[in-house]
């Protein structure tokens, strides 16, 4: 392995450690001063300047092979072959004479579509993270392991923007031609995880596999379901169902045979975490887990409510730390697809059904809303749109992913629902948050087929089908307008939100008319 490392340009490494156990990686991390153990045994680190992803520092190498495929713009920023290679040479020179940690694993629980990935780390703690987040190989698989993609993560290497052609000391450079990713300047482990996701979002559509930013679970009868949603919409909470098995919490593929988890682990938020409300995640913070930026006292006890370092406190752990998990993370074709949104305007119906074209429209839109008062200067709810519920990770044009969703919905006769986990009876500050038991009842009715027996009416503004009844949910709650005391105020607010949908969708050039016309009516 030393010869391999030197072939990359990392000459005379101090030591090369390949596929160490979590215990050994924890031992190295502590001896190297990278972190401390908590009272529960989790390795705890701080990530310095970068406590979250840095999308403005992400680049894609612009080469003739990919130039006409990549959806260039704010998300996919081009960097030249020359600049990328210069940074690669500087990074490998920086790593000379240092300890190197290597993990070989797979992205994709379905062996037919799994991508072998080699991750080369400067830090033992980051190597522990990716060991737990990827699908871990068997001994036999390691014997014949050949990387299909290589990721080199060196947080200690700092770019020089004026020389390297990047925006800051950090850079995440995805190179599809040379099948490698460079991560410089950032110790935030999520950059490694999401680089893998970006790669899969490019590779899998070429194999007619639909990559998805969603959670997934499966019932005892083998009926799989998908949950799409941005942060704060309830994706993790609602997919963690004690009556069903969790396939995965974040990234999946939908192939010709069914769905499969990309990962072998979870990367959960820790802010305001409590044993009472999220016992599974709370219990996963133990030996083998990596905790980032959570304040810990001298006795190793966490203060999950302390956001002094960041609101984005995180823990990475193997999916096997969560009870009721399906191993391997594969399932059948989904019978139900759920889009989650937390509408702080209080105007979207609590649940609505979407036909194929409506589903593609709302999938591309990826709507939720920020709350008034949660950020300085926000006086009213703010619309937030993230293309395909995963804008920062999509190398191809959104229409590619939308068409794949539509094709699968049609082929497998999947029911699609839009569920609002936000406000009812008025906007944030006036109305009230839709109660979780009601939302769970709607999800259950969608999953068990009971909702299909309901009568549906077309919403005149949002152009979605609204049920007039749902088991264990008050009928009046299902009519968003009826819940408002001031009906004219509802109409005005609904038109406002619809106009923002329409305005947002204008940015999607080359989107077919049948998708554009399936959206809200401003």
Residues that are catalytic: 53, 194, 213, 231, 235-236, 250, 314
CA distance 49 to 310: 10
Of 493, 233, 459, 253, the residue nearest 366 (C-alpha)? 233
Give the N- to C-terminal CA distance of the chain in Å, as an integer. 61
- The CA radius of gyration of the chain, in Å to the nearest whole number, is 23
Residues 6+ apart with CB under 8 A from 494: 345, 347, 461, 462, 480, 481
As beta bridge partners, residue 149 has 117
Looking at residue 480, what DSSP letter applies?
T
Beta-sheet pairing, 43-45 with 290-292: parallel
As beta bridge partners, residue 339 has 228, 418
How many other CB atoms are there within 10 angstroms of residue 362's CB atom? 25
Provide the token pair at 284: 């996963």
Q: What is the DSSP string of 199-236?
A: HHHHHGGGGT-EEEEEEEEE-TTS-EEEEEE-TTSSHH
Beta-sheet pairing, 330-331 with 334-341: unpaired
CA distance 376 to 357: 37
CA distance 36 to 319: 23
Q: H or E segment at 173?
A: strand 171-175
CB-based contact 210:402 (threshold 8 Å): no
CA distance 369 to 348: 12
CA distance 301 to 297: 5
Alpha helix (H) residue ranges in 116-188: 124-133, 139-143, 161-164
CA distance 85 to 89: 6
Residue 414, SS3? Answer: coil
Q: What is the 3-state secondary structure (H, E, C) of 242-302?
A: CCCEEEECCEEEECCCCEEECCCEEEEECCCCCCCCCHHHHHHCCCCCEEECCEECCCCCE
Of 71, 129, 260, the residue nearest 250 (C-alpha)? 260
CA distance 208 to 82: 32
């Amino acid at each position: 392995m030393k010869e391999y490392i030197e072939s990359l340009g990392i000459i005379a490494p101090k030591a090369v450690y390949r596929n160490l156990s979590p215990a050994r990686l924890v031992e190295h991390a502590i001896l190297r001063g990278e972190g401390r153990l908590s009272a529960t045994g989790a390795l705890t680190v701080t990530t310095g300047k970068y406590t979250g992803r840095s999308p403005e520092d992400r680049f894609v190498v612009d080469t003739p092979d990919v130039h006409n495929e990549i959806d260039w713009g704010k998300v996919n920023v081009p960097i030249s072959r020359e600049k990328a290679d210069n940074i690669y040479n500087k990074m490998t020179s920086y790593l000379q004479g240092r300890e190197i940690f290597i993990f070989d694993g797979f992205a994709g629980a379905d062996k037919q579509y799994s991508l072998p990935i080699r991750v080369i780390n400067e830090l033992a703690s980051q190597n522990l993270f990716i060991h737990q987040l990827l699908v871990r190989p068997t001994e036999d698989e390691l014997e014949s392991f050949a990387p299909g993609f290589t990721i080199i993560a060196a947080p200690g290497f700092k770019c020089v923007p004026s020389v390297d052609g990047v925006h800051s000391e950090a850079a995440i450079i995805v190179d599809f031609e040379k099948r490698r990713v460079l991560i410089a300047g950032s110790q935030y482990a999520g950059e490694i995880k999401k680089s893998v996701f970006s790669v899969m979002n490019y590779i899998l559509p070429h194999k007619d596999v639909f990559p998805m930013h969603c959670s997934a679970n499966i019932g005892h009868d083998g009926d799989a379901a998908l949950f799409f949603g941005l942060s704060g919409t309830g994706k993790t909470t609602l997919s963690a169902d004690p009556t069903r098995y969790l396939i995965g919490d974040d990234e999946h593929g939908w192939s010709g045979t069914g769905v499969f988890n990309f990962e072998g682990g979870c990367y959960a938020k820790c802010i305001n975490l409590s044993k009472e409300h999220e016992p599974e995640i709370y219990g996963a913070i133990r030996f083998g887990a990596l905790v980032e930026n959570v304040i810990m006292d001298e006795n190793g006890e966490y203060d999950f409510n302390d956001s002094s370092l960041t609101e984005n406190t995180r823990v990475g752990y193997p999916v096997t730390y969560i009870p009721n998990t399906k191993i391997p993370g594969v399932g059948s074709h989904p019978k139900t697809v759920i889009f989650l949104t937390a509408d702080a305007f209080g105007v979207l119906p609590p649940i609505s059904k979407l036909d194929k074209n409506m589903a593609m429209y709302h999938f591309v839109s990826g709507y939720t809303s920020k709350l008034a008062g949660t950020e300085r200067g926000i006086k009213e709810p703010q619309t937030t749109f993230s293309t395909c519920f995963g804008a920062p990770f999509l190398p191809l044009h959104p229409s590619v992913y939308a068409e794949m969703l539509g094709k699968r919905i049609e082929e497998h006769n999947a029911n699609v629902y839009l569920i609002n986990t936000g406000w009812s009876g008025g906007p944030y500050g006036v109305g009230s948050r839709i109660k979780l038991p009601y939302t769970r009842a709607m999800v259950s009715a969608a999953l068990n087929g009971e909702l299909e027996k309901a009568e549906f009416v077309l919403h005149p503004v949002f152009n979605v089908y609204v049920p007039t009844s749902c088991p264990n949910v008050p009928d009046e709650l299902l009519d968003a307008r009826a819940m408002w005391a001031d009906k004219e105020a509802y109409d005005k607010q609904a038109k406002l939100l619809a106009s923002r949908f329409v305005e947002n969708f204008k940015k999607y050039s080359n989107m077919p008319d049948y998708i554009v016309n399936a959206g809200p009516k401003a």
